[in-house]
């Protein structure tokens, strides 16, 4: 190629644009310079840096293309699966992109609501209704739905979530996250949703304790002491007032401060005693027993009042065929002190040596541990909270007393205790307590042949066998020990509570479009209630003529009644029908496997 100037061809470079018959170049420095009608081309020294940049750029683009082709080939070969585990860099990148998508004004928003008991509880209810199916009741995301979404459902307890600002959390809740399973919960017609802010308040409570807070808690047993539930009232007024009305707060009552606790003694023809003999009245919901004090011990009198029947009945635990400990005590109530058999569960801080308690009844510190440090300096790290524990530890808080078992070491200093001596909330219950064994196929004082509890106060024995327990459900998922207006201190009426997690088409079941398709009973009828079939009232031993609900949540088929004489919910309700009738009716329910009905 010839050039219109006199410079040597070795000192000139053909611009790439001219080689493509273009009149423009990528960079101004490569544009031909015109002087007096003649074109002056850049020299090699002038164009060399630009060429290097261009080559680097082209190499980078080529590398990206190669990587994309390789990744594409791998992905096509492997396929796309929501069950695949995202890599750490992919998860980090996704979080970064999500956070960058939040407008700056929204990030800096502050929660306009106060973090009080009411707003946090309301946030919790919203969470259980809208979020728990994916995130789990504990926020971990380890649910069938959460483990099979791509990208994965985040752990709401983790620092990657808890370090978000209130505004960032609120924006994500309101607007969702594109290309994920996170929906937008906000109302587009409202500026801001109060419900989303309540949800933010609740999510903050999921934050795990810091290392320093855990160290504080570990030191509590050595530094803190019991102060009584009334010390909690100052800061927790609403909770305290609710708790005072619960059976937990009224298990043990002094007849002189609660004269209404004693029924008409004149009607007692079973085993007469006077009011002056009664030091404590034990029980208020199902039955009432009466303790007399001799020396520094309490002993049960020989008559009990059945609240539901409004009648007197004898009280004596038989040495054979009853509670295990009875065989180790004389068959005389006045030689069976309540310290080893009752008081450890119906008080706070029972001392087996002094026989003194920090507080009668199931007070705040029974579940939260000694509170002196917390009362002096309120902080998360100097009080125990079952709601912040793992599900096993949280459930142990209740199972310690709502179960039948015996101490691992027995006797303890020569006495036989019917409660886990030495256990306190935060310790491992299994280091102190062993649940009663069950022999499959045999009916005993404690169990039916399928190991469903046969006696009352065995909710823990039932519950640990359940699918619920294995999936991290806790007692407090359904019950609020601080007190509610619902039966059994349920957080909501039973049916509403069940359907929040087990509504029609729920991934947790039932797998039916309508509830009636699952229950085969008219909606709203007794037979359509979840507890009617999954929590039948069949546990009868203990409180006379009182039927306590099972907590295995298993359906007991009529076939099991035929085989093992275990009461089933069908013929328990339809008392005029036979098990053959029930089995025939269920054989026409197409959605149930016939193998489960046999």
pLDDT in tens, 209-232: 888 888 888 888 788 999 999 999
Residue 33 counted as domain residue: yes
pTM of the complete model: 0.80
Last residue of a domain, one of 21, 50, 77: 77
Provide the pLDDT confidence category of residue 572 given band limits of 50, 70 and 90.
very high
Average per-residue pLDDT for the chain: 88
Residue 539 counted as domain residue: yes
Number of folded domains in the chain? 3
Cα 366 to Cα 234, 459, 502: the distances in Å are: 18, 18, 32
Last residue of a domain, one of 77, 111, 137: 77
Mean pLDDT of all residues in 407-418: 96
Domain extent at residue 579: 493-597
Mean pLDDT of all residues in 488-496: 94
Mean pLDDT of all residues in 566-574: 94
The CATH number of the domain holding residue 156 is: 1.10.760.10
What DSSP state is assigned to residue 445? S
Residue 58 counted as domain residue: yes
Q: Is the pLDDT of residue 71 over 90?
A: no
Containing 359, the helix (H) or strand (E) segment is strand 359-360
For residue range 253-284, list pLDDT tens digits in order. Answer: 999 999 999 999 999 999 999 999 999 999 98
Question: Cα 458–461–465 angle (5° rounding)?
Answer: 140
Q: Is the pLDDT of residue 19 over 50?
A: no
Q: Using omega within 30 degrees of 0 as the cis cutoff, is the peptide bond preceding 510 cis? A: yes
- Residue 258's pLDDT is 93
Q: Do residue 199 and residue 93 come from a single domain?
A: yes
- Distance in angstroms (rounded) separating the CA atoms of residues 539 and 546: 8
Residue 504 counted as domain residue: yes
Last residue of a domain, one of 204, 232, 248: 204
Residue 502 counted as domain residue: yes
For residue range 437-446, list pLDDT tens digits in order. Answer: 999 999 999 9
Q: Is the pLDDT of residue 543 over 50?
A: yes
Cα 13 to Cα 18, 44, 50, 252, 370: the distances in Å are: 11, 6, 12, 102, 87
- Residue 214's pLDDT is 87
């Amino acid at each position: 190629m010839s050039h219109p100037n006199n410079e040597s061809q070795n000192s000139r470079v053909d611009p790439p644009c001219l080689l493509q018959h273009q009149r423009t170049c990528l960079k101004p420095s490569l544009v031909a310079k015109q002087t007096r009608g003649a074109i002056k081309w850049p020299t090699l020294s002038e164009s060399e840096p630009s060429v290097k940049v261009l080559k680097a750029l082209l190499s980078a683009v080529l590398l990206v293309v190669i990587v994309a082709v390789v990744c594409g080939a791998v992905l096509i070969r492997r396929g796309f699966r929501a069950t695949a585990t995202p890599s750490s860099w992919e998860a980090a990148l996704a979080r970064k992109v999500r956070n960058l998508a939040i407008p700056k004004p929204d990030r800096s928003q502050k929660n306009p609501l106060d973090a009080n008991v009411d707003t946090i509880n309301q946030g919790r209810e919203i969470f259980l209704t809208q979020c728990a199916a994916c995130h789990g009741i504990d926020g971990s995301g380890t649910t069938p739905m959460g483990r099979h979404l791509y990208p994965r459902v985040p752990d709401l307890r983790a620092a990657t979530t808890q370090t978000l600002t209130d505004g960032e959390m609120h924006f994500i809740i309101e607007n969702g996250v594109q290309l994920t399973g996170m929906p937008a919960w906000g109302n587009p017609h409202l500026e801001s949703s109060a419900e989303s802010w309540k949800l933010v308040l609740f999510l903050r409570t999921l934050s795990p304790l810091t290392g320093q807070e855990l160290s504080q808690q570990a030191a509590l047993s050595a530094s803190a002491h019991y102060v009584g539930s009334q010390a909690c009232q100052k800061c927790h007024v609403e909770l305290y007032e609710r708790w005072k009305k619960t059976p937990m707060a009224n298990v043990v009552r002094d007849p002189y401060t609660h004269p209404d606790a004693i029924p008409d003694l004149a009607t007692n023809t079973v085993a007469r005693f006077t009011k002056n003999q009664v030091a404590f009245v034990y029980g208020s919901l199902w039955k009432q027993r009466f303790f007399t004090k001799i020396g520094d011990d309490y002993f049960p009198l020989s008559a009990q009042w059945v609240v539901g029947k409004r009648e007197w009945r004898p009280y004596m635990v038989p040495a054979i065929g009853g509670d295990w400990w009875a065989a180790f005590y004389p068959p005389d109530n006045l030689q069976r002190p309540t310290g080893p058999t009752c008081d450890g569960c119906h008080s706070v801080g029972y001392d087996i040596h002094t026989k003194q308690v920090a507080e009668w009844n199931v007070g705040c510190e029974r579940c939260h541990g000694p509170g002196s440090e917390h009362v002096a300096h309120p902080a998360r790290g100097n009080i125990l909270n079952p709601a912040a524990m793992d599900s096993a530890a949280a459930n142990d808080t209740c199972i310690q007393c709502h179960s039948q078992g015996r101490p691992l070491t027995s006797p303890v200093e020569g006495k036989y205790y019917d409660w886990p001596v030495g256990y306190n909330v935060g310790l491992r219950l299994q280091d102190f307590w062993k649940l009663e064994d069950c022999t499959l196929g045999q009916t005993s004082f404690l169990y039916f042949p399928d190991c469903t509890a046969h006696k009352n106060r065995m909710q823990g024995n039932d519950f640990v066998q359940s699918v619920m327990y294995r999936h991290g459900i806790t007692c407090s998922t359904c019950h609020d020990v601080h007190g509610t207006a619902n039966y059994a201190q349920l957080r909501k009426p039973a049916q509403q509570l069940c359907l929040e997690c087990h509504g029609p088409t729920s991934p947790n079941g039932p797998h039916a479009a309508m509830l009636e398709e699952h229950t085969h009973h008219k909606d709203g009828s007794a037979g359509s209630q979840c507890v009617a079939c999954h929590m039948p009232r069949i546990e009868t031993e203990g409180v006379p003529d009182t039927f306590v609900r099972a907590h295995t949540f298993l359906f007991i088929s009529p076939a099991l009644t035929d085989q093992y004489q275990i009461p089933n919910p069908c013929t328990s309700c339809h008392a005029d029908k036979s098990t053959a009738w029930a089995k025939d009716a269920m054989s026409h329910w197409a959605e149930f496997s016939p193998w489960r009905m046999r």
